[in-house]
């Protein structure tokens, strides 16, 4: 990847550069899936953590679980989840907005005082499009998009995933970028586009 391509992945629609990675171990919980799918989702989380060199934990001392994934049929179901409105500000207006837009997914990040990710809520309305995806591809794609703060337009044109010998994998360039982003010498938060140059240099150093 060129520095310009890396920069574009973290440049938002308003032309601001915004990068953040997790500042604490992941403590995931998954709602609305059967045991088979749960194994697939947790395997995707473990594989991405191993790739990036990030850690997992049974619980988060502040939140209990800090990566929450919800699978459901209709957005209105979220308003019935006990105490979710305490974790997600303005939950009802958000649900109404997503219903009106016909959205099938939404990710909400929360950040610590330094600006690193401290929580992520992943909402997936299992419409025909998402239901048709293999569980492995759906899980891995969502985890990758929850692992750093990407641009809101990062993967509109091209998926971060690829098929290799019948298996769904991360594209090598995205895998390399995640490894570089979680390199201990790199900052957990960045707002300057020069950060993309540092990521580019780290990718080269690792390879």
pLDDT at position 167 is: 82
Q: pTM for the complete prediction?
A: 0.92
Residue-wise pLDDT for 138-155, tens only, equals 999 999 999 999 999 899
Q: Quick check: 114 and 23 in contact, CB under 8 A?
A: yes
What confidence tier does 112 reach under pLDDT thresholds 50, 70, 90? very high
Residue-wise pLDDT for 171-184, tens only, equals 999 999 999 999 99
Backbone angles phi, psi at 127, to 5 degrees: -80, -170
pLDDT at position 206 is: 59
Average the pLDDT over 120-136 and give the result: 95
Cα(98)–Cα(141) distance, integer angstroms? 20
Helix (H) or strand (E) holding 119: strand 117-125
Could you tell me how far CA 35 lies from the centroid of its own chain? 22
What confidence tier does 207 reach under pLDDT thresholds 50, 70, 90? low
What confidence tier does 156 reach under pLDDT thresholds 50, 70, 90? confident
């Amino acid at each position: 990847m060129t520095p310009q391509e890396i920069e574009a992945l973290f440049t938002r629609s308003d032309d601001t550069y915004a990068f953040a990675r997790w500042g604490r171990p992941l403590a995931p919980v998954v709602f609305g899936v059967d045991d088979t799918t749960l194994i697939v989702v947790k395997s995707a989380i473990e594989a991405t953590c191993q790739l990036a060199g990030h850690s997992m934990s049974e619980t988060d001392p502040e939140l209990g679980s800090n990566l929450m994934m919800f699978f459901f049929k209709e957005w209105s179901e979220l308003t019935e989840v006990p105490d979710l409105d305490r974790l997600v500000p303005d939950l009802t207006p958000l649900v109404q907005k997503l219903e009106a837009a016909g959205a099938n997914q939404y990710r909400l990040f929360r950040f610590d005082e330094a600006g690193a990710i401290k929580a992520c809520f992943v909402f997936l309305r299992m419409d025909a499009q998402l239901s048709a995806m293999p569980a492995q591809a759906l899980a891995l794609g969502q985890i990758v998009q929850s692992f750093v703060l990407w641009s809101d337009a990062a993967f509109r044109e091209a998926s971060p995933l690829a098929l290799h010998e019948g298996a769904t994998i991360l594209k090598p360039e995205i895998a390399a970028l995640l490894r570089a982003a979680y390199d201990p010498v790199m900052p957990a938060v960045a707002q300057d586009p020069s950060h993309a140059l540092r990521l580019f240099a780290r990718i080269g150093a690792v390879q």
